[in-house]
Every structure is written in C-alpha cells, then in structure tokens.
Structure 1
Amino acid sequence: MISESVFAAVDLGASSGRVVRGEIDAERIELREVHRFVNRPLALPDGLHWNVGALFEQLCVGLAAAGPVRSAGIDSWAVDYGLLDAQGALLGLPYHYRDPRASAPPPIGPVELFERTGLADLPFNTIHQLRAESAERLGAARNLLLIPDLLGYWLTGAVGAERTNASTTGLFHATRQDWDRELIDRIGLPQRLFGAIEDPGTSLGPVRPALRDAIGGRALELVRVASHDTASAVAAMPARTDRFAYICTGTWSLVGLERPAPLLTPAARERGFTNETGVAGIRFLRNVMGLWLLQECLREWPGSNTAELVAAAAELPALRTLIDVDDPDFLAPAQAGEPPMTVRIAAHCDGPVPRTPAEFTRCVIDSLALGHARAVADAVAVHGAEVEVVHLVGGGVHNASLCQATADACDRPVAAGPAEATALGNLLAQAIAADVLPDWPHARYLVARTHPPTHYSPSGDRAWRTALDRVTALARKRAA
C-alpha cells in the first residue's frame, strides 16, 4: 500500500546520483538512501557528454528500490539540456557544461544580458552552449529540455520547463519570470524550443505504463520540484531568521543570499553575482569553484582516502599556500586536454608549492574557505544588509576543517547541515504539493527541528584577514 506521506527524491549531482525515500509529517522527516550510483561523463570524439541513458536506467532502479511512494521528483545540476526532434527522439547525448565548445558571442553585450536575465556571463550558461550548436541540430530540434525535464519526459511523456532551472539558462527574463522571447529572437534561436514554464509542485502526471515494470510494477506520479539542485538545497535551509547567507557545497559552492526581487545593479554585475529563481524569492549568488578542485586531485592519487587526507591536512600549518579558486584555469577536467589539477594548482600558488597530497588538500581547503568569504562579503556589500549567520549545507558539511575554516575566513558563525539538503528540498516540495505540509516556512522550521546543524564559531585570528587580502590580490591580478 502507498503511504500518503512517503515520497522519493531523485537527486543527480555532477559526479554521483542517488534516490532517497522520505517519510514526512508535521513532526518528523525520516530519510533513507535506497540507491546510489556514479555519474561519469563520456569523453567522445566530438566532446564531453553526459551519459543520460545510464542515468535514466539507474533512476528507474532507484525508484524500484524506494518501494511504494506517493510521488517522486527529480533535481539535477543546471544549464545542460537535451534536444528532441519532431518525433520526441533525443538528438545526441547532451553536452557536459565543462566541454570547451567555442560559441559565437551573442549580438548583445554582457551589461544588457545581466539587466535582462540577472545572470553572470559564464561560458557554460545555456545561452552560450546553444550558440555553439550546429544549424543542422537546431533545425531538427523541436524541444529543448533541461536535464530533469528530459528525464521527466522519458518517464511520463510530459514536455515543459521548471521555473528554478529555466532561470539559470541566460534566456529567462529576471523580472518577468518567463522566457525572454525578444532575446531568443535577437540571438536567432527557434522559439519552438522553449515550452511552457511550470512551478515546483505541479504534476507531470503518471509514469508511462510501459515503464511500470522498470520502477517496481506500480503506478507512480511524478511531481515537478525545484529541479535545480541548488534551488532545492536553499529551499531546505534550516534558517530561523531571514538575515542569513548560504553556501551550498559540492562540486561547486554556491554562495549567496535570498532576496524578494532580483538585484540588477552594476555593482552586482561587476562582482559576478547572478539572480536565480527559488521557492522563497530570488537566489542572489555567486559560483565558487567548490570541492571539484579536491575531487580532481583525488583522481591523481589512486587509493587515497578523503577523510584521512583531510585529517592529515588539518595537522599542517594553515594559510601557507593559497590559490584563487575562481581562476578559470581550474574549470576543465583533465580528460578534456587540460594538465592534471595538481599541476594547475602548482602553477597558480601564492606561497610554497605543495609537494604531498596532504599539502595540496590543505591548500584547497584554506583557499575554498577564502573563496566562500570573498563571496559572502561581496554579497553583503552589494545587498546592503548584514547577515547574522552563514548556513553551509551539502557534502562539505562532512569536512569539519572546511566548516571551521569558512567560519574563520568569513568571521561569522557557520551553521553546518544538513548534508542532504538537496534531497530534503526535493521531498519537501512534494510534501507541500500533497498538502502534508502547508508551506515553505513550516518546511524550513521542520528541517531546523529534525536536522539541527552543527555550529562553528569564528576564531577571530587576524591571519585570515591577511589571507583574504592575498587571494583578493590574486583575483585582481587575474582580472587585470
């Protein structure tokens, strides 16, 4: 029998995916991970792609493992997409956002782009990826579906776009909260690619009957959640005040504030901020390179244990060697023709070049904490109001050294947790849609009660202020 308060979250990250079963009522949230799988990109002759067929297969395995649930929802990373032809067939594997496809510059400058879309002008944004598409592929395409929408289409046959993810494309009007049809025309893209935008909580309908055996032999409703994983993570922030900053840690760190409306000032644009739609207003944030740096280093150290490396790094002196984590030289994976990550870090060091895995790990942890601090300080400066606490969620919660370093670098208390914020946000959207919970303020209060964060107090050590000046100087030198 299907419980009215049990849901399944399909949570796809850039390096792994999982399916989480959640039981939710007004007093409790109980989570159980039922399936986890790797997400490895495919380096093919024409570029770096996502293996979406394998993701779909593992998604179905996970939904079968979840057992009877009232509904399921899918979230993933942003900006990447699949193109469907007139018969609904996928026109090739979606490109990976780290693929260095060269795109023609759009016939519109970055200032106007920011004023219209609210986004920082990043090379992997959907608008630039589409500018790199061939005329043949665009001519054959009838629909563009972002990754969660594509997987939802395969499950249900429903075509559409979810609002929080659409807002990351660079083709979405920040104040009108819909596709920027004038911009789409100006850059020469077919209007037919961009379907109706729907909000989190709307239903895609039941899974196709032909797929029921693959997901456990039962009917299942799919619900649109905040399908950009950062939007789901921020939705589940255990905040008790509106005076907070957030850091969603993982392959990327997304650092910012919640606002009732987009902030489209020159200062916001010049400092690299972006305005994305969330469930409680606008996510005003900046991308910081994130734990990707350490993940890539670990690929060079077969057999290394992350926890042991972090523990060894904690025994080393802090702040000896720093890098600007936002340097674009760190963006591409080694298999895309770039040197190994340790080689790139060594070439950009301020301080002695690391020689051991523990020294590289210490450099990455300290530098990432300072990247967090720079983004928080800039967000506060352009937003114009102070924050009382920094909420840190996602995989970085398990790295106590990173949490403490972030508190020291930000010189603000850090509330770390929950690690599973993205899956929680996914499940909570379904619970609200099912009237199990009344609204998002109640959902956040419930998270704070059932998943209390771990608190880290800043040390007050002025060495972190000096270190922040060092990485700021590196960033200015890069921008010069």
Structure 2
Amino acid sequence: MAKHCLAVDIGASSGRLIVGSVNERQLHLQEIHRFKNQIVEKNGHFCWDVNELFDQIKIGIKRCDELDIKPASIGIDTWAVDFVLLDEHDQLLTDAISYRDPRTDGMMEEVSDILMKERLYLETGIQFQKFNTIYQLYSLKKHSPEVLAKAKSFLMIPDYLHYLLTGVKANEYTNATSTQLINAFTKKWDKEIINTLGLNFDMFQDIKMPKEKLGRLKEELVEEFGFSMDVILPATHDTGSAVLAVPELEDTIYVSSGTWSLIGVENDFPICVTKALDYNFTNEGGMDYQFRFLKNIMGLWMIQEVRRNYKNKYSFTELVEFSENVSSIVGKVNVDDQRFLKPDNMIEEIQNYCRETNQPVPISPGEVAKCVFDSLADSYQKAVTEIEDIFEKEFKTINVIGGGCQNQLLNQLIADVTKKEVFAGPVEATAIGNIIAQLIALKEIKDINEARGLIKHSFEVKKYVHA
C-alpha cells in the first residue's frame, strides 16, 4: 500500500498542509488545510507568530485523522533567514522577528568593516542582502547583547517547528546556508566568521541534511493526534524544495515565483568568483549538496502590497486584467531597490520612484499593476543575461514554478523580453519537493532523477513562446 507523506509548506503570506503519495506511477496531491500567515507588530518589531503557525500545523494533522489518512511522515519548509533563540531551559528568548524588520538597517555596512565583503563571499558564496541572518544576529549583538549572551540554541523557523514536533534540535542544511555563516566548501558552520563577529558558536546546532529522519512525534502529540509518524527533513528552505520540482533542468533557468522571485540554475559546486559577487548572485545549498546558483528578486510581494493598499478591493486576477487593458506607456521601477522591501504604501512608493526618474507616473490600478509586471519581467531579463554571462552559454528555456506561475500575463512577458520558451508549472512546486524528499527517505522513490520523471508525467506544464 502506498505511503502518504505530509508536507507543511509555509510562505510569507500563507501556509498549507498537503498529503502526497505515489500510485500507478503518478504523484497524487491532496490539500488538507490552508491558512494565512502575516507579519504582526510585537514589542516594537515586525514578527511572525510562530505559536499560531504551530497551532495551524496541529489543526492540519488532526484533519488527516478526520479524513482517515495516516501519514507515514511529515516535513516542514518555510522561507529563509529568520530564526529564534532558546535559553538554557529551551524557552524562547526572542520573538521570531521578520526579515522585513528595520533592525538590520546599516548592519551590512558595519559587518563589512569587520569582514571584507570579498572574503565573506569567497567563503560562503551567499549574496549580500541587508536582511541575511548574519546581519540580524549582529544587530542583536549590538542592541541586545544580554539576550544573545543567554542564547543556548539557534533554530531557524522550520528548525523550531520541527523541534516542537520532536523535541530534537538541529539546523537543516539548505536553510542554514542562507544565514551567510555556512562555509560553501566545508558545508559546516564557519567558526572563524562566527567568532570574528563575536557570536556564540556553541548555540548553533549540528547540520542535518534533507531526507534525514529527525525523529518521531513527541508522546504528548501522539496522544493528541491519535497516531504517530516520522519527522523527515525536507529541504526546509522553501526554494530548495521548490527547485526539486522542476521537471527538466538541462539548459533550463528556473524562476521560483511567489512573494519572492528566485531565478537561477542548479549546479554541482559553488561559484564564488568576482563576477558572481559583482552581479550579487548567491550559492544556496540544496539536497544532495547541489547548489542553487540564483538571484533573489523582490517578486510578487509588490503586487500583493499594491492589492493590500487598494484595501483588497480587486483580486489578483482583476489586477492582471486591468494591466492588460492599459494602452498608455507607464514607467518602470528597479524592483530590487530597498525602498520596496517594506514601504508604508507600495503604490505611493512606485509613483514616487517614477516621478524621481522622470518617467510616466502610473495612476490607475491597471497602470500600477502594469508597472509592477513590466518591471519584474525586466528584472528577470537582466538576471538571465547575467547568468549566461557567468556560465558563458545560452540557456534555451525558462521554467516558472510555484504559485506565481499561474500569472499568464507575467509568463508571456518573460517569454517576450527574454526571447526564450517559457514553461509554467507545477504550481505546488514547494510542497512537491518537500514530499519528494520524504518519499525518497521512505524508499518509495529511488532518487531525484526518478522523482523528476514522475513529476513530469504527473502535473500540467504550460508553454509560452515569445512574440
């Protein structure tokens, strides 16, 4: 009988629990539970409500029992860089402060005065972003050293949620690489960097790899749910899981499209060369020690905020339709400008950018949406050009995966500006990649190559050609 695996996939705006199993050489998915996730203001910071997230995970697990589904395993993935610290009694010392919190303002520059950017990049291979974990920790050291001094355990968000399930503390590799504290070559915590910054090396946990069994559910949870299951680590960085679901990677650039857009290629080794540093590409760890050589682009966060600023009066589908009906020329913005990370009002920020750069200012909802989509497509084109320059080769296709691949307008814009064939799908790429890691661990699937063949035949992928 086919084994069921439960993927918990939590993004910056929502979470979902999805059951997956293999039957007759098809990968079948069933959504069990979906819930909202949002930043809350707490103690003067923008935070994630990790207790609420765990409560929602438990609700989803209980629904499995109601549906008479007994998963053999469970694994959790989330976004990267954010963390909590535990004290000597394993109690939370810190809130789960979001990467969008301004506490890291100026921290990247201060760290660069201590550790040369070139050295940090050559050792970690991680792109420079103001919200990276290294700068969050340095901010904590600078502004709340007494908190950091009490820290006994550093756990990233999915690490902490896995700990709540099992009582076992570990740092999963793919997410740990996003901290800018993992050596890209030893694949371990870089003790020299950590000590140079005056951080406590002992609070970091042993590195565990995707497909490793972390443990079983805690006894009190078994009593609460009425059944037990293995907790198996997926690639806990959601992009690491999503890329596993790209059906074909040969000569293909992927775009994991959601709140963020991650655009890059899979590689066997880190590329820590000067040109990659200049282009600000990152080398994030993947399953089986593969590397995701990619660039992090602001993504659909901008249109999400635009919709929120319109008080959710329009659906995303309506904003796309409004955009398609715009005949006038509107300005474009640099989507990676830090002003768009968490502005008070995204619409006003976009309009101000266009005014400051002497471009036509978008006024109507359709014009604002068109500005966002055109700007995103241009940023993808720039990243594609940089990837091809670094690899000194032309990539034939682009595969857009994740929830953003449902935006047919943006898919067509990508095809038009890059002059490449664009394939869109699968939609639930992150959950699929999460489930794949569990199924391989349970020996339901042999390896990632077999998994990608299975994915190719199980899910619809749409093709777009340039005009």
Residue 322 of structure 2 contacts residue 365 of structure 2 at CA under 8 Å; is this kept in 1? no
**Aligned mates of 1:225, 1:305 — CA distance in 2:** 32
Is residue 2:35 matched to residue 1:33?
no
* 2:376 partner letter: L
Q: Which residue of 2 aligns with 1:81?
A: 83
Residue 318 of structure 1 contacts residue 366 of structure 1 at CA under 8 Å; is this kept in 2? no
The Cα offsets for residues 44-100 of structure 1, whole Å up to 9 and x where unpaired, read as 242111100000000111122233111010000000001011111111311100001
**Aligned mates of 1:45, 1:189 — CA distance in 2:** 23
Match of 1:109 among 116, 133, 147: 116
Residue 25 (structure 1) shift: 4.5
Residue 452 (structure 1) shift: 3.3
**Aligned mates of 1:389, 1:292 — CA distance in 2:** 25
Residue 247 of structure 1 contacts residue 253 of structure 1 at CA under 8 Å; is this kept in 2? yes
Is residue 2:255 matched to residue 1:247?
yes
Q: Which residue of 2 aligns with 1:347?
A: 352
Residue 2 of structure 2 contacts residue 21 of structure 2 at CA under 8 Å; is this kept in 1? no
Residue 318 of structure 1 contacts residue 362 of structure 1 at CA under 8 Å; is this kept in 2? no
Is residue 2:266 matched to residue 1:228?
no
Matched position secondary structure for 2:179: coil
**Aligned mates of 1:327, 1:163 — CA distance in 2:** 29
Match of 2:437 among 429, 438, 445: 429
Residue 113 (structure 1) shift: 0.7
Q: Which residue of 2 aligns with 1:320?
A: 330
* 1:447 partner letter: I
Superposed CA RMSD in Å reads 1.4
Residue 329 of structure 2 contacts residue 360 of structure 2 at CA under 8 Å; is this kept in 1? no
**Aligned mates of 1:135, 1:92 — CA distance in 2:** 12
Q: Which residue of 1 aligns with 2:375?
A: 367
Is residue 2:418 matched to residue 1:416?
no
Q: Which residue of 2 aligns with 1:468?
A: none
**Aligned mates of 1:319, 1:433 — CA distance in 2:** 52
The structure-2 alpha-carbon separation of the partners of 1:227 and 1:298, relative to structure 1 and needing over 3 Å to count, comes to same
Residue 149 (structure 1) shift: 0.5
Q: Which residue of 1 aligns with 2:12?
A: 14
Residue 318 (structure 1) shift: 7.7
**Aligned mates of 1:456, 1:306 — CA distance in 2:** 20
**Aligned mates of 2:24, 2:203 — CA distance in 1:** 41
Matched position secondary structure for 1:355: coil
Q: Which residue of 1 aligns with 2:132?
A: 125
The structure-2 alpha-carbon separation of the partners of 1:45 and 1:143, relative to structure 1 and needing over 3 Å to count, comes to closer
**Aligned mates of 1:318, 1:87 — CA distance in 2:** 61
Instruction: Within 5 Å, give how 1:26-425 maps onto structure 2.
Output: 27-66=25-64, 67-102=69-104, 104=107, 105-106=110-111, 107-133=114-140, 134-214=144-224, 216-239=225-248, 241-279=249-287, 281-302=290-311, 303-317=313-327, 320-332=330-342, 338-349=343-354, 351-425=359-433
Kindly, what percent of the aligned residue pairs are identical? 38
* 2:94 partner letter: G
Residue 242 of structure 2 contacts residue 431 of structure 2 at CA under 8 Å; is this kept in 1? yes
Residue 306 (structure 1) shift: 1.3
**Aligned mates of 2:136, 2:352 — CA distance in 1:** 29
**Aligned mates of 1:455, 1:317 — CA distance in 2:** 26
The structure-2 alpha-carbon separation of the partners of 1:318 and 1:9, relative to structure 1 and needing over 3 Å to count, comes to farther
* 1:179 partner letter: W
For normalisation by structure 2, the TM-score amounts to 0.94
**Aligned mates of 2:24, 2:150 — CA distance in 1:** 49
Q: Which residue of 2 aligns with 1:465?
A: none
* 2:310 partner letter: W
Residue 249 of structure 1 contacts residue 290 of structure 1 at CA under 8 Å; is this kept in 2? yes
Residue 124 (structure 1) shift: 0.5
**Aligned mates of 1:128, 1:171 — CA distance in 2:** 10
**Aligned mates of 2:50, 2:63 — CA distance in 1:** 20
* 2:82 partner letter: D
The Cα offsets for residues 278-311 of structure 1, whole Å up to 9 and x where unpaired, read as 1261100001100000000111112211111211
The structure-2 alpha-carbon separation of the partners of 1:140 and 1:318, relative to structure 1 and needing over 3 Å to count, comes to farther
* 2:15 partner letter: G
**Aligned mates of 1:50, 1:213 — CA distance in 2:** 28
Matched position secondary structure for 2:262: strand
**Aligned mates of 2:362, 2:381 — CA distance in 1:** 23
Residue 259 (structure 1) shift: 1.1
The Cα offsets for residues 420-451 of structure 1, whole Å up to 9 and x where unpaired, read as 00000000000000000000011011111111
Residue 237 of structure 1 contacts residue 391 of structure 1 at CA under 8 Å; is this kept in 2? yes
Report which stretch shifted further, 377-386 or 32-41: 377-386
Residue 223 (structure 1) shift: 0.5
Instruction: Within 5 Å, give how 1:452-471 maps onto structure 2.
Output: 452-459=460-467
Residue 26 of structure 1 contacts residue 437 of structure 1 at CA under 8 Å; is this kept in 2? no
Residue 320 (structure 1) shift: 3.2
**Aligned mates of 1:308, 1:197 — CA distance in 2:** 45
Residue 183 of structure 2 contacts residue 189 of structure 2 at CA under 8 Å; is this kept in 1? yes
Residue 213 (structure 1) shift: 4.4
* 1:161 partner letter: N
The Cα offsets for residues 169-207 of structure 1, whole Å up to 9 and x where unpaired, read as 010001111111111111111111111101101111111
Q: Which residue of 2 aligns with 1:467?
A: none
**Aligned mates of 1:437, 1:19 — CA distance in 2:** 21
The structure-2 alpha-carbon separation of the partners of 1:318 and 1:263, relative to structure 1 and needing over 3 Å to count, comes to farther
Residue 2 of structure 2 contacts residue 22 of structure 2 at CA under 8 Å; is this kept in 1? no
* 1:74 partner letter: I
Gap regions ≥5 residues in structure 2: none
* 1:299 partner letter: R
**Aligned mates of 1:278, 1:6 — CA distance in 2:** 24
**Aligned mates of 2:152, 2:451 — CA distance in 1:** 38
> How many residues get paired?
450
